[in-house]
Amino acid sequence: MKVLIADGVSQTAVDILKDDFECVIKDKLPAEELLENIPDFDALIVRSASKVTAEVIEAAKNLKIIGRAGVGVDNIDVAAATAKGIVVINSPGGNTNAATEHSFAMMLAMARHIPVANETLQKGEWNRKQYTGVELKGKTLGVIGMGRIGSGVAKRALAFDMKVIGYDPYINEERCRDMGVTVGTFDDVIAQADFITVHMPLTDTTRGMINKEVMAKMKKGVRLINCARGGIIDEADLREAVLSGQVAGAAVDVFTSEPIPADHPLLGVKGIYVTPHLGASTVEAQVGVAVDVAEGIKAALHGEPVMTAVNMAPVSKQVMNVISPYFDLAERLGCAVRALADGAVKKLEITYNGEIADVNTKMITTAVTKGLLDAEMDKSVNYVNAPSLAKERGLKVSEIKDKDTELFANIITVTAYAGKGQVSVQGTLFGENGRIIKINNNRVDLAPKDCILICPHINRPGVVGQVGSIMGAAGVNISGMQVATTEVEGTSLMILTLDKDVPKSVVNLITSMDGIFGAKVIIFDQN
């Protein structure tokens, strides 16, 4: 498989990938060349320069994963990638410290006029009185966005004896209070803060959220910092607010369009300090984000789950260690209920019993959904597009959790509702191996592999032998067999593990036998 590195990344990341894959490095690849080259590659690594548009994604015939060596994915059409089943990953923690430190450095530099003081002194000027600054101690810092970076800035501000008030629509109030941060509304932050720093993603909601109307409600002489995303603070409005004196100063590292033109509204304004998107520009951060993405791409191309996908439910490393052993079993349980159900499945219910009920099981549920859809769709189904494909088909998927369990530490039960009936298959792990332990209410012990024939039948001599004879005559080898009792008196459930698929004509012949109540085939290993 081939990996295209379209923007320069650390050699450490290349070293991680090159032993397993062919790596092609084309730094700052022009848009037309990216479009031309992308069909040949299985993975793509970009930073902020390359734009991965819907057109590029459509042309990517083999692409399985896009890695953004950084936090934001503004330059990637995530919706188009998701629709095509392409994983998009980033490095949410690789440059957190670098961006945090840069945000705080920008605040200090602005408060003490360090950039302009240095510039004029280099020219031979000695202007001590002109560059009198303000102290951070005792001032109130408003933090809009209390994620990793916002929380990091808040922590440093508290060490400088600042008061901190934080706002985030998804804020963890208990964690903030434990840090010493006051939790407030957006309006609280705007009204009370002497310094305001933004740490939100750029979305339709956050674009221009700090505009002239909002700045007019701030304290006169407030100072603003934006090291998050260009466009969160309206650039033209910021210029006017600084020129009018409503805003005493601003420190900006990110812009609506980069690189910025010579006539950009934030250039040449006294009190506005700018840097060319340096938030993640440390030696350590560049290595960190590249390594994170390289390891994610390596895992994905080897068929393993990744933790930092932006178009999948986020999962911590600790939770992934718990749930990943269940992925293969979950897919096979989904495959089994699809094969056993009569008609289109409209509802899928996954019940988790045992300790596994305590963790985030969304990816296991996605694995079940993938297994079911794989069995009935021609197009490729994966962990990225399975939820959206289920939604398109009107398939309702739900989870039930219950810690109670009797025989096994953890049990997954998948119930499919189709037509007027339902079928259920229950599984667990024996060590690292998945086993099916119930089909409907019938206790079994079945390795979900190869091809399985399931026949409910009357419990009388000769029935099993007749089925075996039919299989032998058709040249189908039976590699395993078990017969389970059912809840219906006088009946049993025959389960045959076969070396290959059974012709439809053979299944029909078995179904027509006296004493057979139907026959279903589950093909677990189709590839």
Residue-wise pLDDT for 254-309, tens only, equals 999 989 999 999 999 999 999 999 998 999 998 999 999 999 999 889 877 777 88
How far is 158 from 179, CA to CA, in rounded Å?
Answer: 9
- Beta-carbon neighbour count of residue 219 at 10 Å? 18
pLDDT tens profile 387-434:
888 888 889 999 999 988 877 889 999 999 998 789 999 999 998 899
pLDDT computed for residue 412 by the predictor: 97
Lookup result for tokens 């989870």: 399
How far is 284 from 85, CA to CA, in rounded Å?
Answer: 32
Q: What is the mean pLDDT of residues 77-92?
A: 89
Give the residue range(s) of CATH 3.40.50.720 domains in the chain.
Answer: 2-93+284-311, 96-274
How far is 407 from 4, CA to CA, in rounded Å?
Answer: 49
Catalogue the active-site residues.
Answer: 229, 258, 277
Sign of CA pseudo-dihedral 205, 177, 360, 147: positive
pLDDT computed for residue 314 by the predictor: 67
Helix (H, G, I), strand (E, B) or coil at 151: helix
The tokens of 496 are what?
Answer: 């045959």
Residue 380 contacts residue 85 (beta carbons within 8 Å): yes
Give the residue range(s) of CATH 3.30.1330.90 domains in the chain.
Answer: 314-447
Least confident of 229-233, 310-314, 382-386, 439-443: 310-314
Which CATH code is given to the segment(s) 96-274?
Answer: 3.40.50.720
Band (527; pLDDT cuts 50, 70, 90): very low
N-terminal to C-terminal alpha carbon distance within the chain? 19
- Beta-carbon neighbour count of residue 134 at 10 Å? 16
Q: What is the mean pLDDT of residues 49-73?
A: 92
Axis crossing angle, helix 96-111 with helix 114-122, rounded to the nearest 10: 70
Band (379; pLDDT cuts 50, 70, 90): low
Q: What is the mean pLDDT of residues 95-110?
A: 96
Give the residue range(s) of CATH 3.30.70.260 domains in the chain.
Answer: 449-527
CATH class of 314-447: alpha beta
Express as a percent the part of the chain with pLDDT over 90: 66
| Superfamily (CATH) of domain 449-527 | ACT domain (3.30.70.260)
pLDDT computed for residue 351 by the predictor: 96
Q: In what order do the strands lie in the sheet with 478-485?
A: 478-485, 491-498, 451-458, 520-523
Residue 346 contacts residue 396 (beta carbons within 8 Å): yes
Pairing mode, strands 478-485 and 43-46: unpaired
Band (317; pLDDT cuts 50, 70, 90): confident
Query: Structure pTM?
Result: 0.64
Q: Could you write out the three-class secondary structure of 22-40? A: EEEECCCCCHHHHHHHHHH
Which residues, at least 6 apart from 68, have a Cβ–Cβ distance to it below 8 Å?
Answer: 46, 47, 75, 76, 88, 89, 90, 91, 293
Sign of CA pseudo-dihedral 222, 228, 229, 230: positive
Q: Which CATH fold topology does 2-93+284-311 show?
A: Rossmann fold (3.40.50)
The tokens of 450 are what?
Answer: 């190869």
Q: What is the mean pLDDT of residues 229-245?
A: 97
